[in-house]
Structure 1
Amino acid sequence: MTYFLWSLPTLTLLAAIVSGRVNPTIAATLGLACAVPVALLTGPSAWFDAQYLYVALLRGLWIGAVIAPYIVGGLLFWQVAARSSSTSSSQSPLAIPTSNSSHDGISKRRLVFFACFLVGPFAESATGFGVGMLGTVMLIRHLGFAPRHLMVFALLSQTVIPWGAMSSGTILAAAYARIPAVQLGLYSVLPVTLLMLVWLSLFWQTARKAGMAASRMECLREAGWIGACMVCLAATTAALGPETALLAAYGPLIVLRYVLDNKPTRSQALAAATKVLPYVVLIACLALTRLVPELRSTLDSLWRVTPFTDLPSWAPLFHAGSWLIVGSIVTAWVRGQPSVLGTEIKSAWATGKHAVLAVFLFAMMAEVLTASGISGAFAVAIFAVLGEKTILLTPPLSGAFGVLTNSGNPGNSLFLPSQVALAVQAGLSVPAVAALQQVSGMSLGLFSPVRMSIAATLSSGRGQERQVYTQLVPFAVMALMVLMVLALGVVLYR
């Protein structure tokens, strides 16, 4: 009975999500509202009382406050940059011109690969919220694909999602796991790289069905590009941290790929450079703040706030979210459009408010369950029954939450504290367990009905979701098997 009571917050959250009648904010509110009395009345920690509850809630609020600027700042900067050459914020700043006179054969396929695996992930890293799908579709929708094929190509922009929204999900997961965000990002590279083989297979199948069959050499070339992306991503994650890693890694690769594929004229190159200039400047500035030791030390120490020694600090001059917000203001002024800031701030908040509020609520719920001892007690009980094999449940459980919630954050808030306790008890690698949890929830979220709905809307494919899911199911199974093998590896090789 006690374990059932401890499960009520999770069951309440899950029931609210599955019902489809409430948004993520309300679902998280219900979960937190259930967690508070359960923790106070039934939590195993005898010392957990109203005072400790207050501290746990404050800790959750602090985690949310550190993450929120990534979300709002990324959305705001994207929208302001999109207005650089247009009064409409719906235009993608990465919809750069191409010089191919024909979209037949190999040039068409290369443009689609460029959109799916370079531009889409870059846009998703800058903003999150499926904007990568928008960037991908805007680049290739004029090529005449059937909606079901365009939907798959749109979804492929979500394949490097642990670095999405300035890696806010990874930073949040690192806070739950009490490990450095850089360490979690680096440990996440391997599972993401292995999953890229699954996503690349999906791309090859869809390209063939869409009439873009290619030689084995072209497929090897595409695999080589994916490998280069992953190597660069690992390097920038280690050097810069996960927030700006994908932007810094993919930015130069996008330029290189664009030049190699299109061989643009001077005017075309200038037009493309003008569109992406705000991002070039921002990435360069962020890279400098992280690569120059003296500058990094100064910015990271000025006005630094650390209310909890085991949680991320707030350094406003070093935080990437702050740079995104300031970059938005500077870009608007340089473009002579300061008047759009008010409109774009409202738009960014309207788009991101549920994600921001959910981050606060999920973090508070996780801290309450951890402080009350419920997460640790669950880990001990499960370990007593299943032992180390408990880790094998991580991919299906986390993946299921990722599909249901379109995010890895709910699964992380519910499972990571328990899994960290389990890893410590079993002598397993905490970063490896945390990365498995993080990547399972984030990556399998690609199959979420929410993302499918966005892809269908962008691709004019309403009513074709069932066909697309039929194609995706084998690849979902393959992805789950990859993660299960990784889970087994975590158990066997410590």
Structure 2
Amino acid sequence: MPLSVHLIPLAATILLLVSRRVSLLTAGLIGMALSLAVLVAVQPSTEAAAGVVALKAAEGAWLAWHAMSIIAAGLLFHRAFEARPGQAPHPDQAAAAPRGDRRRAVFVACFLAGPFAESVTGFGVGLVVAIAILRQLGLPPLHVAALGLFSQVLSPWGALAVGSRVGAELAGIPFAELGTASALLMMVVLPGLMPVFWRLIHGAGLTSSPAERAADIALALVLAGLVWVTNRFVAPELGGGLATAVLLLLVEGPRLPRDTSSLRQLLARLWPYILLVCGLMATRLLPPFSGWTGDVLVLDPFGGLAPLPILRHPSTWLLLVAALLLAGLPPGRAGGVLRGSLRAALVPMAATLVFVELAGFMGASGGAAAFGQAWQNMAGDMAVLAAPVFAAAAGALTGSNTASNALMMHIQLSLAAGSGLPPVTTAAVQTVAGSLCTILMPGRIVLAAGLLGLKKAEGPIYRLALPIGLVPAALLLAVVAVEVWLL
């Protein structure tokens, strides 16, 4: 079958996304239907087509369920947390502080508090948290909106690394291996983003001494190192949440209240996050509990294709803590939170399913491999240099690291096969570049403007925020170029 036919599903999906005339879900549905048609067309008979389609559809649904369950449970957890009495935003103590403390508060909001919330719950919650802190510091609203987007810098681990999990499953690479490789890339990306951060805070009226810049770079490297350690020795889904929590304690610990009453209030507010992180860590690090939860109640319907240990899966713990939160609410209020969470989860769950199915059908039909081979023939040894560009474009178009990985992972692996670059490196480039460039989707910019009540400000915010997405893509392009040169 001609390459042009194989590329119809991908091209149609991208064109629909670029047009902004249809939603992400609609574009994915059309792309999935087209990829299904191509898969059927390449089969030798109707019977063979029916068997292949049924198998690939079932495998895709199983892979997608790992992410879909976290989406639903994560939204329920977040809404139940926010529904508790007394959960109105707490004023940040840095609001009236001297310049140095204001600058520290900006860094904490952008690289620690916002990314922590995004890592644990996802779906833009980190942006909400970051802007809630930043707007109280007396900074220009446009710069507050742009700075808030730094909350997405650990988006490969957003919503407990749901998009990275899908990418690992599609690539056939162990989740921890992909997470560790992605964390290594953050050693370049996070320090590389510091000049962008400095430029934005200077535009907002804050300055940076050489000592403060050195401290920023050191903290960025420490954060990247903690993310790597967590992925390597704990669990990739905790890579962002645990790393930012530890660094938050190190940075803000000396400023925490020392009196018993204030500490009790702080723990009363944060116990759901503490329980969630501790529970997930215990299932991986605390024998014999860790072994038992990994061996009991393990669902494996496809014989080794992404087994799901129920007692260890993030969605189980999200649901458990959410249930405890809901138990403290009046029945009517709890029911409303539950129904609202399910309604909010339907669209992102459906979008995840259709994009994973699209990727599975394209992979089974040979479309991804054909495109990769054609690009390889055209660009030669330099073909793999397009990996960060493809990833960045997919992330910006879809606004979802799950959809970005689903669209591009098979293509990226075909580029890796033709270049000699290790598949895990290419998959990590896809995951990191695609995830970070989701901030360039107009929907993210609209959300930032809406949180601040800004009207017709999307263009100026986009111009300020553009380097936050483009700089990581450029840095990853340099990393790939160096690796290809060393091969």
Could you say which TM-score interval applies, normalised by the shorter chain? Answer: over 0.9
Q: State the distance in 1 between where 2:108 and 2:418 align.
A: 45
The one-character-per-residue Cα deviations of 1:23-71 (angstroms, maximum 9, x if unpaired) are 2211111111111111221479999622111101111100111111211
Task: Indicate how the Cα distance of structure 1 residues 490 and 340 shifts in structure 2: closer, same or farther if over 3 A, else same.
Answer: farther
Determine which of 395, 410, 415 is the counterpart of 1:402.
Answer: 395
**1:418 aligned partner:** 411
Matched, 1:300 2:294: yes
Shift of 1:8: 0.7
Contact map agreement 1:77 1:327 (CA 8 A) in 2? yes
The one-character-per-residue Cα deviations of 1:205-232 (angstroms, maximum 9, x if unpaired) are 1211222213211222222222221111
Q: State the distance in 1 between where 2:486 and 2:177 align.
A: 18
Q: What amino acid is the match of 1:436?
A: V
Matched, 1:41 2:35: no
Shift of 1:246: 1.9
Shift of 1:476: 4.5
Q: What amino acid is the match of 2:426?
A: V
**2:83 aligned partner:** 83
Contact map agreement 1:329 1:341 (CA 8 A) in 2? no
Matched positions, count: 487
Shift of 1:474: 4.8
**2:484 aligned partner:** 491
Determine which of 74, 83, 103 is the counterpart of 2:97.
Answer: 103
Q: State the distance in 1 between where 2:435 and 2:157 align.
A: 10
Contact map agreement 1:126 1:165 (CA 8 A) in 2? yes
**1:442 aligned partner:** 435
The one-character-per-residue Cα deviations of 1:289-336 (angstroms, maximum 9, x if unpaired) are 110242222112212111224521122111111110111102332x35
Shift of 1:477: 4.2
Shift of 1:98: 4.9
Matched, 1:225 2:219: yes
Matched, 1:318 2:312: yes
**2:7 aligned partner:** 7
Contact map agreement 1:84 1:275 (CA 8 A) in 2? no
Shift of 1:339: 4.5
Contact map agreement 1:290 1:296 (CA 8 A) in 2? yes
Q: What amino acid is the match of 2:83?
A: R
Determine which of 335, 344, 363 is the counterpart of 1:342.
Answer: 335
The one-character-per-residue Cα deviations of 1:209-266 (angstroms, maximum 9, x if unpaired) are 2222132112222222222211111111112221122222222322332233466654
Q: What amino acid is the match of 2:128?
A: L
The one-character-per-residue Cα deviations of 1:426-473 (angstroms, maximum 9, x if unpaired) are 432010010011111111222221111111111222322222333344
**2:68 aligned partner:** 68
SS of residue in 2 equivalent to 1:311: coil
| Deviates most, 263-272 or 452-461 | 263-272
Contact map agreement 2:234 2:284 (CA 8 A) in 1? yes
Q: State the distance in 2 between where 1:190 and 1:138 align.
A: 30
Matched, 1:209 2:218: no
Q: State the distance in 1 between where 2:96 and 2:332 align.
A: 40
Q: What amino acid is the match of 1:126?
A: V
SS of residue in 2 equivalent to 1:49: helix
Shift of 1:82: 2.2
Contact map agreement 1:398 1:408 (CA 8 A) in 2? no
Shift of 1:404: 1.5
| Deviates most, 25-34 or 474-483 | 474-483
**1:452 aligned partner:** 445
Identity, in percent, stands at 27
Q: State the distance in 2 between where 1:18 and 1:389 align.
A: 27
The one-character-per-residue Cα deviations of 1:121-146 (angstroms, maximum 9, x if unpaired) are 01111221111010011123122222
Give the TM-score, by structure 2 length: 0.93
Q: State the distance in 1 between where 2:311 and 2:434 align.
A: 31
**2:159 aligned partner:** 165
Task: Indicate how the Cα distance of structure 1 residues 295 and 331 shifts in structure 2: closer, same or farther if over 3 A, else same.
Answer: same
Q: What amino acid is the match of 2:67?
A: I
SS of residue in 1 equivalent to 2:216: helix
Task: Indicate how the Cα distance of structure 1 residues 215 and 265 shifts in structure 2: closer, same or farther if over 3 A, else same.
Answer: farther
Q: Any stretches of 5+ residues in structure 2 without a counterpart? A: none
Give the TM-score, by structure 1 length: 0.92
Task: Indicate how the Cα distance of structure 1 residues 324 and 474 shifts in structure 2: closer, same or farther if over 3 A, else same.
Answer: closer
Q: State the distance in 1 between where 2:44 and 2:168 align.
A: 25
| Deviates most, 216-225 or 448-457 | 216-225
Q: What amino acid is the match of 2:205?
A: G
